[in-house]
Amino acid sequence: MTNQLKHVSTLPLQFNYRFNDELPADIETDNHLRIVAAACFSYVNPKAVKAPKLVAYSKEVATNIGLSDRHCESDIFVDVFSGNTLLKGMQPYAQCYGGHQFGHWAGQLGDGRAINLGEIINDAGEHHLLQLKGAGPTPYSRNADGLAVLRSSVREFICSEAMYHLGVPTTRALSLVLTGEEVIRDMFYDGNPKPEQGAIVCRSAPSFLRFGSYEIFAAQGDLDTLRRLVDYTIKTDFPHLGKPSIEVYISWFNEVCELTVKMVVHWMRVGFVHGVMNTDNMSILGLTIDYGPYGWLESYDPNWTPNTTDASNKRYRYSHQAQIAQWNLVQLANALYPLIEDTEPLKRCINDFATNYAAQLETMRAAKLGLVAYRESDNSLIANLHKILQLVETDMTLFYRGLADLKVYQQDQTDAQLMAPLAQAYYVDAQLTTENKTQICQWLREYQQRVRLDGITDESRRKAMNTVNPKYVFRNYLAQLATDKAEQGDFSLVKELLEVLRHPYDEQPDKAHFSIKRPDWARQRAGCSMLSCSS
């Protein structure tokens, strides 16, 4: 970094505070733990840190808010996005919300370690709310310190951007900064706390409102604030629906259901498991939000959850994400009912969620298989596919990527030739028994026959499949490797992964080592298989 880059006196950011201007604020201004009533937010400043240091930044997110490389590599950028400096006009705040956690109402939650710096409106008229995660305590910290550690911050920073480039609706990340301070964390809640390096991620989204933002006021019986928040949401993020009214409230809820369907279908497509789908972690815009104990479905197991807290009940397992999303929408509908006072339209929206999800899931599954369209007769093909994926420990990402290379018009292939494109997808060779290989090949021939009905060429099918089936996903072991290096002061792998994952569907031959299946050493290592909410 040159001296020229370091000396930028300020950043060209103009902040907008329509949220603060139009919604009620907490009447108390001291930063102490409390129950906040009749307020959507509390003003609070980030906690100053000792020695902030830039790890990495997203050039695309920076460009979206009008910042150049020169700005992002300056001292003032690090000071602002570590929380050490407030730019002129900044009015940081933390949002108030509640939520259902693991199926139970948890009461007031709120931004316990997230502090919103303000909203940028760029030249294209797009809104980008900037939020620091890990910037210190707020009135909603619930006896926690409001801080975050490097391992969880690396995961959130890279995954936010990786999901965006996969085409999954998501919040994004501008920067990752070390604080120069230690944070004590008990990673697996087993009585073994230890110091870890502190870090702060700057997240970006049009809005960080979530289902729990509305639930809290319904639970408190504060219908005036609830109505004001709903009206504000429609006005700012759903203006196409028209002036708020009961009919518009219903239309808005229906659109939230549709956005949520789209998000979950994308999760299922790329094998993403959120891990903690509490209602306070459900974006009102249908964005993937709050990257905690998430994971990628490597070995195909529909019942897998990456969250150690959820290991027994598996409430948030891969195959259950749509049902949980619908359950969460029911809680949102319950919160909105006092404004509508009619259950029938809300029930229709909830029922439509299931119908829409089933239809979009079929379309998505057809696309993953390179089929022109889903046919009713494909139900057995899909059912049999899910059976063979579980016969042998099979990497989901590599299986679909390899399947694209299958020659469907060569009907005289031996079993070995047929399975050759899938070789890299299997974890345990000993599981490839004669019986299992026979069943796999039986499905592959069934698949060949089905594709031939569409009459498309192998090449066109391969290209189509490789636009929806990624080669590169942000596997947990990659996150751990990047964290290990970053903890030693080497940020090169963080930056390299950030770049590789900007092109998840491209071959990138010189980066192919990032596409391999989980290595054996990562099978049971902490942070590579199961994760906790400790961050």
For 315-367, what is each residue's pLDDT tens digit?
A: 999 999 999 999 999 999 999 999 999 999 999 999 999 999 999 999 999 99
280 given a catalytic annotation? yes
pLDDT given for residue 188 in this prediction = 66
Is 18 in contact with 239 (CB distance < 8 Å)?
Answer: no
Contact 186, 192 (CB under 8 A): yes
Contact residues for 459 (Cβ-Cβ < 8 A; gap 6+)? none
For the chain, which residues score pLDDT lower than 70?
1-7, 188-189, 529-535
CA–CA distance, 179 with 150 (Å, rounded to integer): 9
* Residue 513, burial from CB neighbour count under 10 angstroms (0-12, 13-18, 19+): exposed
First to last CA, the chain: 30
Residue 276 and residue 201: Cα distance in Å, rounded? 19
Residue 63: per-residue pLDDT: 97
Q: Which residue has the tokens 């021939």?
A: 445
The first and second tokens of residue 96, run together, are 């108030």
pLDDT for 418 equals 97
Q: What is the dihedral of CA 494, 270, 465, 394, to 10 degrees?
A: 100
Q: For residue 222, with 0-12 CB atoms within 10 Å meaning exposed, 13-18 middle and 19 or more buried, which class applies?
A: middle
**DSSP state, residue 336:** H
CB 39 within 8 A of CB 64: no
Question: Dihedral (C-alpha) 246, 356, 399, 461: value to the nearest 10 degrees?
Answer: -110
Q: What is the mean pLDDT of the chain?
A: 95
Which residue among 280, 290, 310, 395 is the active-site one? 280
User: pLDDT at position 2, please?
Assistant: 37
Percent of the chain clearing pLDDT 90 (strictly above): 93
The pLDDT of residue 525: 80
Q: pLDDT tens digits for 111-121? A: 999 999 999 99
Element (H, E) at 165: helix 150-166
Strand pairing class (98-101; 272-273): unpaired
